[in-house]
Amino acid sequence: MKIGYIQMEPAFLDREANLDHAAEMLEKAKDADIIVLPELFNTGYNFQGKKEVNALAEDAETGVTSTLLQEIAKENDQYIAAGYAERIGDKIYNSQLLVGPGGFINSYQKVHLFCNEKKFFEPGKSIGVIDLGEARVGQMVCFDWFFPECMRTLMLKGADIILHSANLVLPYCPNSMVTRCLENRVFAVTCNRIGEEHGLGFIGMSQITATDGGIMHRAPESSEETWIEEVNPLLARNKDMNELNNIIRDRAVGAYDLR
Amino acid sequence: MKIGYIQMEPAFLDREANLDHAAEMLEKAKDADIIVLPELFNTGYNFQGKKEVNALAEDAETGVTSTLLQEIAKENDQYIAAGYAERIGDKIYNSQLLVGPGGFINSYQKVHLFCNEKKFFEPGKSIGVIDLGEARVGQMVCFDWFFPECMRTLMLKGADIILHSANLVLPYCPNSMVTRCLENRVFAVTCNRIGEEHGLGFIGMSQITATDGGIMHRAPESSEETWIEEVNPLLARNKDMNELNNIIRDRAVGAYDLR
């Protein structure tokens, strides 16, 4: 199956422009079975106050962003994962929407909030896996990668492919995804953004990583890019490293103290 | 304080030669406060049958290897961590000895056995931290690095510095130690060996890694090297990434499912 990302440069607070731009880039990603967009692709990231994000937060199923992505997913017969600000009652989350040919599927609320995000968003409370039939996917937003427990939980719940929307500002994630995929024997699509907002620069380098930690493709640092790779998600279900090691059976759960 | 490693090439099954060689190399490491030797530095690694390892396994406190290292540690007023085959009753473990100026301190039995090691060794059952006063150290042997739970447990139990004896044959560990140290904000000394045994090649590249994931020094792939770096172990006790993120407090334990 074909998995990919759209590394783009969102325009800060200009949702209409971002939806148009994403729709245009998605035109060139029609072949993808699963396509990932950056964290907060429709609003930009570096909010200077809660008012800004409050004005753009949306409902997961009926919001303007969700509605558009559902239309495109249906039209292209594909799954789309995309970061957005989600409103649930009077709370706002840094979420990743997942839609497919049949419409809305899930909204994942980012569990590990980075820095100023804590001023604007509530943290999510659960980490789960969605079975799409052809593959089981785990959803993750940006800083979630930093905590090994997050992808570990997704792997143990059966994820084959991690859909990772990001707005990376620190340099570590792309190389660390090699370790994350290797230790969990899963695929990952890390979709980052480019550009700068109020002095905060984003590093690009979106990446598709294989179950053996191989970097299938890494995007440039400062230009937009749509990229698609062919993968066999079932490879992620074989957790044998060699004849004697299996990365799930070899976990020494009794020796760990992870409270 | 000064932490370092001795990347050496053990002679297969020739304990006497290995002890002499290690003692010679330790002469040049007198300045180190803590010095790490490779996994199974005194016996070699690629055993072809249980008889070979059985003939060389030793008691942690009274064995010839432990006795020699205790003498050197006392003489040099330093701590030495070194991999060896440990005998406990009729069982043999792939262990890391820790001795200091006052003699024997601890023997850690490797929890995660790699490949054929399962034919020769029992797996260890516990992962713990030793308080040396100037620093708290966590002991780890080779493949233990692969399981994020291992260093996570050591960090959560208070380790400042990971003493990691290795016989690496796969290429992944040195780069992955960047992620491991970054995600746990600890120092690590990975001491690998060089050379080849029965067709199995070891990759060298011993490494001292800082709490920010910085590679303080990496050894060459195929020559011996003694290396020492100055570190402040107390840096590892500050788990703040920035004003709003702390890598322990930000763990979302309720969302993880790590059984």
Contact call for residues A146 and A159 (beta carbons, < 8 A):
no
A125 has catalytic annotation: no
Give me the total of CB pairs closer than 8 Å, taking one residue from chain A and one from chain B.
Answer: 136
pLDDT the model gives residue A82:
98
Contact call for residues A94 and A111 (beta carbons, < 8 A):
no
**For A173, which residue in chain B has the nearest alpha carbon?**
B179
pLDDT the model gives residue A56:
98
State the Cα–Cα distance between residues A39 and A45, nearest whole angstrom: 8
Mean pLDDT of the region B108-121? 98
pLDDT the model gives residue B6:
98
End-to-end CA separation in angstroms for chain A: 38
Domain chopping of chain A, boundaries: 2-255
Sheet containing B34-36: which strands, arranged edge to edge? B103-109, B91-100, B79-88, B34-36, B2-7, B225-230
Q: How confident is the model at residue A49 (pLDDT cuts 50, 70, 90)?
A: very high
pLDDT the model gives residue B245:
98
State the Cα–Cα distance between residues A66 and A87, nearest whole angstrom: 12
pLDDT the model gives residue A165:
98
- Residue type at A6? I
Q: Using the structure block, give the residue that is written with the tokens 């992808």.
A: A151
**Choice among A86, A142, A150, A181 that is catalytic:** A142
Among residues B63, B22, B26, B59, the alpha carbon closest in space to that of B42 is found at B22
Residues of A in contact with B182 (CB under 8 A): 146, 172, 176
Contacting A residues, span 61-90, partner chain B, CB-CB under 8 Å: none
Q: Do B256 and A172 touch (CB under 8 A)?
A: no
- Using the 8-state DSSP alphabet, how is residue B8 labeled? -
Mean pLDDT of the region A41-50? 97
* DSSP-based three-state secondary structure for A159: coil
Q: B161-165 and B187-191: which strand pairing?
A: parallel
- Could you give the residue numbers annotated as active site of B? 39, 110, 142
- Residue type at B181? C
pLDDT the model gives residue B11:
98
Give per-residue pLDDT as tens, B136-153: 999 999 999 999 999 999
For residue A31, the distance in angstroms to the closest alpha carbon of chain B comes to 33
In a mutational test of the B interface, the residue from A147, A175, A242 whose CB has the highest number of chain B CBs within 10 Å is A147
Q: Among residues of chain A, what percentage have pLDDT more than 70?
A: 100
CA atoms within a 13 Å half-sphere pointing along the CA-CB vector of A70: 14
Residues of A in contact with B111 (CB under 8 A): 252, 255
Whole-structure pTM over 0.95, yes or no?
yes
Residues of B in contact with A116 (CB under 8 A): 244
Contact call for residues B99 and B92 (beta carbons, < 8 A):
no
Q: How confident is the model at residue B124 (pLDDT cuts 50, 70, 90)?
A: very high
pLDDT the model gives residue B254:
97
Q: How confident is the model at residue A164 (pLDDT cuts 50, 70, 90)?
A: very high
Is B150 within 8 Å of chain A by CB?
yes
Domain covering A2-255 in this structure, CATH number: 3.60.110.10
Q: What are residue B196's DSSP bridge partners?
A: B201
Q: Do B116 and A244 touch (CB under 8 A)?
A: yes
Is A257 within 8 Å of chain B by CB?
yes
Strands (E), B177-256: 187-191, 196-197, 200-201, 207-209, 215-218, 225-230
Residues of B in contact with A112 (CB under 8 A): 250, 252
Q: Do A247 and B111 touch (CB under 8 A)?
A: no
Q: Among residues of chain A, what percentage have pLDDT more than 90?
A: 100
C-alpha R_g of chain A: 17
For residue B70, the distance in angstroms to the closest alpha carbon of chain A comes to 28
State the Cα–Cα distance between residues A211 and A224, nearest whole angstrom: 25
Q: How confident is the model at residue A80 (pLDDT cuts 50, 70, 90)?
A: very high
Give per-residue pLDDT as tens, A212-246: 999 999 999 999 999 999 999 999 999 999 999 99
CA atoms within a 13 Å half-sphere pointing along the CA-CB vector of A21: 21
Average pLDDT, chain A: 98
pLDDT the model gives residue A73:
98
Q: In angstroms, what CA-CA distances link B163 with A17, A29, B63, B66, B188?
A: 53, 47, 21, 17, 6
Is A114 within 8 Å of chain B by CB?
yes
pLDDT the model gives residue B153:
98
Give per-residue pLDDT as tens, B36-92: 999 999 999 999 999 999 999 999 999 999 999 999 999 999 999 999 999 999 999
Sheet containing B161-165: which strands, arranged edge to edge? B129-131, B136-141, B161-165, B187-191, B207-209, B215-218
Residue in A150, A183, A255 closest to B146 by CB = A183
pLDDT the model gives residue B125:
98
Residue in A182, A245, A257 closest to B156 by CB = A257
State the Cα–Cα distance between residues B211 and B182, nearest whole angstrom: 6
Average pLDDT, chain B: 98
Among residues A204, A144, A150, A200, the alpha carbon closest in space to that of A174 is found at A204
Q: How confident is the model at residue A139 (pLDDT cuts 50, 70, 90)?
A: very high
Residue in B123, B213, B254 closest to A252 by CB = B123
Is B243 within 8 Å of chain A by CB?
yes
Handedness of CA A189, A219, B215, B40 (dihedral sign): positive
